[in-house]
Amino acid sequence: MIPVQGVRGETLAVLGLGRSGLSAARALAAGGARVLVWDDTPAALERAAEEGFEPRNLVQDRALDDVARLIVSPGIPHLYPRPNPAVAAALRAGVPVDNDIGLFFQSLGGETWDAYDRPPRVIAVTGSNGKSTTAALIHHLLTASGRESQLAGNIGRGVLDIDRPGDGGVVVLELSSYQTELARALTPDIAVFTNLSPDHLDRHGGLGGYFAAKRRLFAEGGPDRAVIGVDETEGAFLAGQLAEGRSDDRVIRISAARKLQGPGWHVFARKGFLSEWRKGRQIASVDLREIAGLPGAHNHQNACAAFAAVRALGMGPREIEAGLRSFKGLPHRSQQIAEVNNVRYVNDSKATNVDSALKALEAFPRIRWVCGGLMKEGGLEALAPALDRVAKAYVIGREAESFALQLPGVTAETCGDMALAVALAVAEAQPGEVVLLAPAAASFDQYDNFEKRGEDFTACVLRELGLEPGEA
């Protein structure tokens, strides 16, 4: 645990008692604070009370009079489309609002670091797509090389639940826009921006607000190094704002779409090869084409981001290449389930929006596509560039018929549920094809979350192939 510093003797309130909320409450108590808690769910309040935390309805009159700060969990709206009533009350009362990420950066350093020969470092990763894979890949590269690393934030453990890092240890954080927008302290040593595509627009008042939330990771504390994906206008703009000039190697530009040129520090992937250039000359190259855990251009972008981040820590190219080759990927993110009779079965249930689904489709030449669910704003038109790769779509979900109608030129069968979709796809798949779950939609019409959807896909595939878990 990382006890929160600077709160001894103060009263702080925690709103939302999921993983991050309870973790924050415990870390505040360990730092000597009096901790009040509130959640709309009675069971969550009861669990917190059993741990000794004091429940208080934070929207009652004068409930915040003695509160020094309100700590808000990421799922709770704090600005758009409208603040949660307790957050609105705090804003009216002038009570500062923060989250567990702000508490983490407030508390990680301190005088104890003077005893370290090499102070611990923090790498923070944000972006629309690929941030989980990028963060996990950075963590994998570090641990594979024998370095101490902890993975936290949106992936792994809660940020305040980790162990205090040792000499030269690295903390790798995956941070969502909800977290970066609200944190009062953001001071990573290395910050990574993967890409930007429309998502969570209701929570940020539009695309500009969404980008501004991501940008805070780079603007608030000023990282020593910034790794920036420049394949979108927003990333190119951010890199330009951070760099003092073309040769400023504090900014490492990355791309999976084009060769980057100029005197600066660049890492890019073209035709399956990762290249590192610095001061106008090539430093390293890695063949990514046969790395099963990193298929497709979107994962090549993740590889570029992770490569750049650990290079900024001083790791050598050959050491990084060995780590890339041993990376198995993450569950539900381009995860290969099985390969039977030259047909691959891939679970990308995390492809919940059109942009991530497009990248998944572009990773394979011939696809039996399991898709559908609760569609997001904007429709499916952006998928058009990859639809010629689809041999057939097997559409699931409550909106299956309307989903299928938005796939012009694609043979689509409305299946409704996962079991039927997988059974048909397995029966009809030909050698050289990929049976791919990349829904391009949310899961909540049929599943609690994308993980449950991916687990169902995996179970259905294994059942149809007559395999046991771990046998594929």
293 is in an annotated binding site: no
91 residue type, one letter? L
- Separation CA 21–CA 124 (nearest Å): 20
272 is in an annotated binding site: no
CA angle, corner 218, sides to 197 and 352, nearest 5? Answer: 25
127 is in an annotated binding site: yes
Q: State both tokens at 287.
A: 């063949």
Contact 338, 292 (CB under 8 A): no
Cβ count within 10 A of residue 115: 8
DSSP 143-168: HHTT--EEEEESSSB-TTTSPPP-TT
- The number of angstroms, rounded, from the C-alpha of 9 to the middle of its chain's C-alpha atoms is 35
H or E element at residue 126: strand 121-126
CA distances from 382 to 4, 222, 262, 440 (A): 45, 35, 31, 11
DSSP 283-351: EEEEE-TT-TTS-HHHHHHHHHHHHHHHHHTT--HHHHHHHHHT---BTTBSEEEEEETTEEEEE-TT-
132 is in an annotated binding site: yes
Task: Indicate the burial class of 179 (C-beta count within 10 angstroms; 0-12, 13-18, 19 or more).
Answer: buried
Question: Is beta strand 225-229 parallel, antiparallel or unpaired with respect to 190-193?
Answer: parallel
Phi, psi of 289 (to 5 degrees): -65, -35
143 is in an annotated binding site: no
SS3 per-residue string spanning 395-437: EECCCHHHHHHCCCCCCEEEEECHHHHHHHHHHHCCCCCEEEE
Contact 306, 145 (CB under 8 A): no
- Separation CA 229–CA 22 (nearest Å): 34
Contact 370, 422 (CB under 8 A): yes
128 is in an annotated binding site: yes
DSSP 79-120: SSS---HHHHHHHHHT--EE-HHHHHHHHS-SGGGGG-SS--
255 is in an annotated binding site: no
Write out the binding residues for ATP: 127-133
Write out the binding residues: 127-133
